[in-house]
Structure 1
C-alpha cells in the first residue's frame, strides 16, 4: 500500500523556548572571548562579550529614543555590522524589526513605512545608485508614524547611541524580562497577487528555532565561521545566517555590503571560514571567476544553498573545488521562517540536486490536492503544505490575506507544486502561482503589472517569467500599446521602472502584442506567453 505524502521531521533535540535576547546571553556567557562578528570591508571585529555589549548599548539607545515594546523599527540598509546590531537590539526590547529591501525605490519604501507604521528608521546613506536620504525625504511627509531617521555612518547614528546612557542596564533587563518568545519580533515583506507586499510577521520562537535547527543540521559549533554574502534583509541572511551562528556560538563574517564574488572568496580565505551561503547564481559567479583557483578555500566544509534548484554540475564543483563536502540544500518561504525541508550532511549528490531535502525536525509537511485539500499518495504532484513552530503569526494587519494561506488546521499553503518521494524527500516541480524566481529573488508579476499600467504608452500588460541560463528566470513584459503606431521600447520601460522599482523587478524582455491569448473563461493564458514569447 502506498504511503500518504505526509512526513513529520523527528529529532532528539527539543525546541528552544528562549527569546532571541536570552539566547544571545547564553552565547555571550559561554563564549565571551570567541569572535561573534567580523566585517571584512571595515576590518571591525567583535568578540561575543563585545557584541553583547554593543547590542545592549543600542537597545538602551532605542529605549531612550522612545521605542516601546511592539513599536516597529525599520532597517533599510546593506549588509553591515549595524544591521546585525539592530536585529538583536530590537529583539532585546521587544520592538518589531521591519526588514526593508535595499533595492526598494520610493513608492515601495513609502508603502512599507505606512503599512507597518514604522516609527523609527535605521538606514544606509547610499547603495549603488540610491541616495537613501533623498528617497526618505521624498516620502517622509506621507508617513505620519515616522518620527525619527538615523543614518548608519552619519552623525545621526552617533546621536542615537549618545542617548543610551539615560537608560540603565536594570531598565533594559526589566523590559526584557516582560517579553515572551511568542511575541512578534520581525516583519518581512513578501509580494503577493494583490500587487502590494504583505508583511509576514514572525516571532522569536519562529526565527530563533529555525536558525538553530538549520545550524544543527550542518553541525555548527563555536568553531565555525560563516561567510554571509546573502542579504540580511531576507530570512536567508538574518535567520539561517545570523541566528544560525549566534545560537551555536559561531562567527558571522560579512564579506561585502552586497554580493561580490571576489570579495566572498577573499573573505573565506582571510577569515578561514568553514561555511559559505549563497543562491546557485552566487556559487556560479564564484566558480567562474578567472582568479578562482588562486584562493585558498580549504577551510570550508559546509554551507547552505537555497533560492532555486542547483544544477548537478555546479554542485559537483562546489563539493570538489570549494571543499564543501557537507553543503546543504534548503527549501522554504518567508512565511515559514523560512526553512521547511533540508538535505542532510550525508546525503548523496542525487538528493542534493534532485530534491530539496526532507522535513526539518519538529516540522510537518504534506502534499495535497489543491482543489480538495486531500493528502495525496507519495509520488503524486500536488500543493506542498507546512505546519509547525515555523509558520508565521500572520500577515501584518491583513487577516483576510492570512486566511487565504493558513487554513483552520494551521497548515501553511505554500502555493508550490511538489512531489514527496517514497523516501520522504521532496521535489519542487512547479508553482501554482506565477511567481518568477530571478536569481533567488521572488518577483510577483501582478506587482510589476500594476506599476506598468501607469505608463502612458501601455494599455495592457502581462508579466511572465521565461527561462534564463544565468538567473534561472528572466522577466518578460508582454504589452498591448495605447497607440499601436507608437509602442513603448524596452528602453522606455526600463527607464520608467528604474526610479520606482527594485532592479530585480525591472523587465529585461519586451514583446509588443495586439492581443493576449485567452481561455474560454476570459483569463489570459500566461503559460502560452511563456512558451511562445520567451527567448
Structure 2
C-alpha cells in the first residue's frame, strides 16, 4: 500500500517488528505498537468516512496527549496533510491558519488553559470537528486501504514570519521522516528508550523529533500536556524515562527544584537541548546532578527541523557553545555576510501559497537562507553568533518582532513601536516593546498595551516590558536601530 518512506508505512513496520512493545503511555492509556497501529487505522477510516480525502488538510489544536498522537497519525494515514496549531494562539491567530490552510477538519481540545477554542474561531470552523476528549471514542481497524506516496505533502507547519505574517512551511513524508531518522540516529534511540515528550506536539521538535522519531525506532512515547516540574519528576520515576529533550529552562528548573532529591531520576540517559544560549555549567550539572549520560545540543528551524546536532561524547564546552555538526544529509556553509546557509534532502518544499517568500528563502542553487549568523570551526561544528533576523526565542518559542509590532500598530494612540528580545533568567529572552504614543491620544498606558496584546497574541509573544519613548533611534536611511534598543533593554526594569 505505502512506500517505506511514508509515515503510515513507518508505523506499520514498527508494529510488525515490535508487536508487543510498549508504544504509548498516557496516564491509564497504555498501548503496544499493534494496538496503536489498529487505533490509527481506525481513526484514518473515521476521517475517510467523513469525507477527508488524500491531499485535504487536517488541523490539530490540542495539548500533548494520546489523542493528538492517534489523530495525527490517523490523518496522515488517510492521506491528509497535518496542520498543527499552537495551543497558545488567540482566536484571530487560529482563524488565520485555518483559513489559509483551507483545513477541512479540526481536532481541537475542549478546554485547555481555560480557553474555548471553538468559540474563538467562529465562522472559520471546518466541516469536520473532533473535540477531545468530549467526542473521543476508541475506533480500531485491522486494515485501511488508503494510499500515501513518499513525496505527498505530509504537513504544513506555520511559523511567524519576519514580515509580520505567519508562513506555512510544507514538507513531504520522505523529508519529514528524514529529519526524524536523523534525530533518532544522533540520539541513538532504541526500542528500550522511554521518551517523555514535553516539547509541544504542534512544534516540529515535539512532532518530528518526538512522535515520529519514536515511531521510527520503536521507543515508548510518554506525552506531557504542560511542563510541571513535580509531575515531570514523577513521570521520570514512575515510567523510568530515559530520554528527555527540552529547552534549557526546563533543566534549570528541575535542577533548582527543592523536591528533586526526593525523586529517583536515575533512569535518565539522554537530553537534547538548544533554542537558547546554554551555559557550560548547566551542561555539567545536567550530567552530574540529573544523571544524564549524554547531553546534546542541536540547531534547526521549521524549514529544516534538524540541521546540525552534537554527538555523544562531545565535551561540555563543545555542547554548550556549538550546535554540533551537519546532520540529516545537510551541507552547512557561511556566506560572505556571515549568514548560515543549509542545503540538503530534507528542507521544506516551500511556503504555502507564497512563491515569492519561497524563492527568497531557498535560492536557485538550493541553499536555504536561515537568517542566522554563525561560524564553523575546523571540526565542522556550527556556532550561532547572532541573528540576522530580528527573531528572538522566549521559553523555546520563536518570536518575530514584526508580528508583534503589527498588532501594536492597531492599538489606538500608538504611532509606532519597536520590539526586541532582551535577556531573561527564566525564559532566555522576553520581549521589550518601545512604544511611541500619538500626539492626539497620549493617555495610552502600559495596561492598555498589555490588554491589547493579551487579546491578540499568544502568551509567549506578548512583551513583558513596555517602555514609552518620544522617538525611536534611526540610522541615516530611517531604519530603526534595534541594536541600541537591545542595549537599553538589558537595563530595563
**TM-score, scaled relative to structure 2:** 0.96
In the other structure, the counterpart of 1:62 is 47
| Aligned equivalents of 1:365, 1:449: Cα separation in 2 | 32
| Aligned equivalents of 2:328, 2:84: Cα separation in 1 | 27
Task: Select 1:293's aligned residue among 248, 261, 273.
Answer: 261
| Aligned equivalents of 1:52, 1:260: Cα separation in 2 | 30
In the other structure, the counterpart of 2:342 is 386
Q: Deviations over 1:394-418 (max 9, x none)?
A: 1111111111100111111111000
Task: Select 2:472's aligned residue among 513, 516, 523.
Answer: 516
Q: Deviations over 1:27-70 (max 9, x none)?
A: 00111111101113xx2111101100110110000010100001
Are 1:487 and 1:512, in contact at CA under 8 Å, matched by a contact in 2?
A: no
Deviation at 1:369, TM superposition (A): 1.5
| Aligned equivalents of 1:435, 1:533: Cα separation in 2 | 15
| Aligned equivalents of 1:244, 1:485: Cα separation in 2 | 53
Match runs of 1:231-270 below 5 Å:
231-254=200-223, 256-270=224-238
In the other structure, the counterpart of 2:198 is 229
Deviation at 1:487, TM superposition (A): 3.7
Matched residue SS, 1:335: coil
Are 2:109 and 2:131, in contact at CA under 8 Å, matched by a contact in 1?
A: yes
Deviation at 1:113, TM superposition (A): 0.7
Task: Select 2:130's aligned residue among 150, 160, 163.
Answer: 150
Deviation at 1:226, TM superposition (A): 0.6
| Aligned equivalents of 1:352, 1:484: Cα separation in 2 | 53
Deviation at 1:262, TM superposition (A): 1.3
Task: Select 1:77's aligned residue among 62, 74, 78.
Answer: 62
| Aligned equivalents of 2:71, 2:356: Cα separation in 1 | 31
Are 1:205 and 1:389, in contact at CA under 8 Å, matched by a contact in 2?
A: no
Runs of 4+ in 1 over 6 A off after TM superposition: none
Deviation at 1:193, TM superposition (A): 2.0
Task: Select 1:344's aligned residue among 295, 311, 316.
Answer: 311
| Aligned equivalents of 1:487, 1:206: Cα separation in 2 | 52
Task: Select 1:315's aligned residue among 277, 283, 307.
Answer: 283
Matched residue SS, 2:244: strand
In the other structure, the counterpart of 2:8 is 21
Matched residue SS, 1:397: coil
In the other structure, the counterpart of 2:96 is 111
In the other structure, the counterpart of 1:94 is 79
1:210 aligns with 2:179: yes
Deviation at 1:457, TM superposition (A): 2.2
Deviation at 1:364, TM superposition (A): 1.0
Are 1:103 and 1:502, in contact at CA under 8 Å, matched by a contact in 2?
A: yes
Unaligned segments of structure 2, at least 5 residues: none
In the other structure, the counterpart of 2:297 is 329
Distance 1:66-1:169 versus aligned 2 partners, 3 A rule = farther
Matched residue SS, 1:284: helix
Are 1:478 and 1:511, in contact at CA under 8 Å, matched by a contact in 2?
A: yes
Q: Deviations over 1:75-117 (max 9, x none)?
A: 0011111111122112212100101000000110111011100
Deviation at 1:462, TM superposition (A): 1.0
Deviation at 1:303, TM superposition (A): 2.2
Q: Deviations over 1:275-306 (max 9, x none)?
A: 11110011111111110111111111112112
Are 1:511 and 1:533, in contact at CA under 8 Å, matched by a contact in 2?
A: no
Match runs of 1:270-281 below 5 Å:
270-281=238-249
Matched residue SS, 1:369: coil
1:489 aligns with 2:445: yes
Deviation at 1:431, TM superposition (A): 0.6
Distance 1:361-1:510 versus aligned 2 partners, 3 A rule = closer
Task: Select 2:401's aligned residue among 445, 464, 482.
Answer: 445
| Aligned equivalents of 1:448, 1:149: Cα separation in 2 | 30
In the other structure, the counterpart of 1:3 is none
Q: Which structure is richer in relative contact order (CA contacts within 8 A, separation 6 or more)? A: 1
Are 2:306 and 2:328, in contact at CA under 8 Å, matched by a contact in 1?
A: no
1:180 aligns with 2:167: no
| Aligned equivalents of 1:88, 1:148: Cα separation in 2 | 17
| Aligned equivalents of 1:363, 1:213: Cα separation in 2 | 10
Are 1:75 and 1:123, in contact at CA under 8 Å, matched by a contact in 2?
A: yes
| Aligned equivalents of 1:62, 1:361: Cα separation in 2 | 32
User: Paired residues, what number?
Assistant: 489
Are 1:490 and 1:508, in contact at CA under 8 Å, matched by a contact in 2?
A: no
Are 2:328 and 2:346, in contact at CA under 8 Å, matched by a contact in 1?
A: no
Deviation at 1:133, TM superposition (A): 2.7
Are 2:52 and 2:80, in contact at CA under 8 Å, matched by a contact in 1?
A: yes
| Aligned equivalents of 1:403, 1:466: Cα separation in 2 | 31
Unaligned segments of structure 1, at least 5 residues: 1-15, 371-381
**TM-score, scaled relative to structure 1:** 0.89
